[in-house]
Amino acid sequence: MTRVGVIGCGTAGATSAILLARAGCDVTVLERVAEPKPIGAGIMLQPTGQAVLARLGLLDPIATRGARIDRLWFRTDRGRTIVDLHYAAVDREWFGIGLHRGLLFETLYTAARAEPRVTVHTGCDVRNLRRDDSHTFITCEDGSEHGPFDLVVIADGAVSELRTTAGTTKRDAAYPWGALWFVTDDRDAVFTRELYQIGVRAHRLYGVLPTGKGALSSGSDTPVVSLFWSLPAHEVEAWRAGGLEAWKAEVRTLDPRIGFVLDRIDSHDQITFARYRDVQMTRWCDRGVVFIGDAAHATSPQLGQGANLALVDACVLADCVRVSPTIDAALELYARSRRLHLRYYQKMTRWLTPFFQSDSRFLGWLRDWTFPIANKIPPLRDHMIKTMAGVCTGFVGRRFELPAAPKVGPMPSN
């Protein structure tokens, strides 16, 4: 039986563990956090990510607690619509799901632990890989060694320390801007059905995402909503040192509906600042080792694809392992299968982010004049919707299709 070691039990790690086990592998997952908890804010599950969850049999529990999103509506502070993208304009079956990251985490984590042939070890901070002629061993901070493995899946997230040692990183930079976020109850369902954003040139970005009913472990069925506020990292300290009232007034002026959310904030400590990285590797795979998810290609959340790309990576990897005669062949097939899709989203996110989060007056101005025109031209508008849905592989060319469930049985041992 093929022995697989998975490093990290986040979105990519847990999903690949479940699907590789179902492909016939014996899987050991090593997660750094001793007692992983459902933390984070609202994230968007696109049709691509939903398809993978459906393959896992986990879409229903997530959709039941998620919030259906039909539209992305982005306006300026003067009320001018910059883009108004409805999934249904391209495909009536499509929609997004706004959900708490914690719900996705706890659903996948619970499923991974329950999966036969998956063993999850927590509190294992992986530090190193060691290779002999044909296998890889994983070393943790406490000196323990796990293995031998025929395949090691590195899914340790955007700040992957193992990526640094792999020597195949082309770009690994923190974006100068990040976002403050806050999640709270929206008992009266004030915010529904849309991801709503307001931009003031490129230097202010306000966003609000219906986030479903939160994580299961919250024990509550009340709808929650996530508030996002863009800020350069170097201004966070000044923001924390300042009073909250001036900031609240600025947010309330942009969207008076948010008042009840702001009324629940009485300390800066209730608000988390998240930074993101831009990661590009020259190669994701090498001799029985593969990087997937944020570890391989972290981006800013501008296009809302992070968790979706991680889910697709894991699904494609398991399918490649299932249909290939050897691990080397599976990794070659994986790299080929993921190249176009990942390259498109990495490039688009890198290119678009400064239009929404930067000090550039010019880019904000350019966005406000050109995007509304594109939004009115059906082929361009449809392309933006497909990009949002996660199915593009380029400006032209084939739509990314999730591979159909493989028809062949589990792969033989290497």
Ligand X SMILES: Cc1cc2nc3c(=O)[nH]c(=O)nc-3n(C[C@H](O)[C@H](O)[C@H](O)COP(=O)(O)OP(=O)(O)OC[C@H]3O[C@@H](n4cnc5c(N)ncnc54)[C@H](O)[C@@H]3O)c2cc1C
Residues that bind ligand X (CB under 6 A): 7-13, 30-33, 39-41, 43, 101, 124-126, 155-157, 161, 293-295, 301, 306-307, 310
Distance between start and end Cα atoms, the chain: 8
* Min separation Cβ 39 and ligand X, Å: 5
The Cα–Cα gap between 59 and 68 comes to 13
Q: Output 103 or 295, the one with its CB closest to ligand X.
A: 295
Comparing CB distances to ligand X, the nearer of 174 and 374 is 174
**Is the peptide bond preceding residue 148 cis, with omega within 30 degrees of 0?**
yes
Query: Smallest gap, in angstroms, from Cβ of residue 224 to ligand X?
Result: 12
Which tokens hold the place of 164? 């640094």
We find the least distance from the C-beta atom of residue 383 to ligand X, in angstroms, to be 23
Residue 81 φ/ψ, nearest 5 degrees: -75, 125
95: amino acid identity, one letter: F
- Closer residue to ligand X in complex, CB, 157/364: 157
Give the number of other Cβ atoms within 10 Å of residue 7's Cβ: 28
Of the pair 43, 411, the CB lying nearest ligand X is at 43
In 3D, which of 69, 66, 46 has the Cα closest to residue 197?
Answer: 69
Q: Which two tokens stand for residue 406?
A: 């493989």
- Closest approach, Cβ 149 to ligand X, in A, equals 14
Nearest distance, CB of residue 65 and ligand X, angstroms: 16
Token pair listed for 149: 């493995």
- For strands 145-149 and 118-122, give the pairing: unpaired
Query: Residue 53: in which H helix or E strand, if any?
Result: helix 47-56
* Nearest residue to the partner ligand X, using Cβ: 10
Residue 33 CB, shortest distance to ligand X, in Å, is: 5
Question: Which 8-state DSSP code applies to residue 405?
Answer: P
For residues 332-341, b (16+ Cβ closer than 10 Å) or e, as one string? Answer: ebbeebbeeb
Helices (H) and strands (E) in the chain, counts: 13, 18
- SS3 per-residue string spanning 164-188: HHHCCEEEEEEEEEEEEEEEEECCC
Shortest distance, position 161 Cβ to ligand X, whole Å: 6
Nearer to ligand X, 126 or 180 (CB): 126
Q: What is the smallest separation between the CB atom of 304 and ligand X, expressed in angstroms?
A: 7
Q: Least separation, in Å, of the C-beta of 214 and ligand X?
A: 12
Identity of the residue, 109 or 355, whose beta carbon is nearer to ligand X in the bound complex: 109
Closest C-alpha to 71, from 94, 99, 42 = 94
Nearer to ligand X, 125 or 382 (CB): 125
User: What is the spatial distance between Cα 103 and Cα 403, in angstroms, rounded to a whole number?
Assistant: 25
H/E segment holding residue 29: strand 26-31
Residue 168 or 360 having the CB closest to ligand X: 168
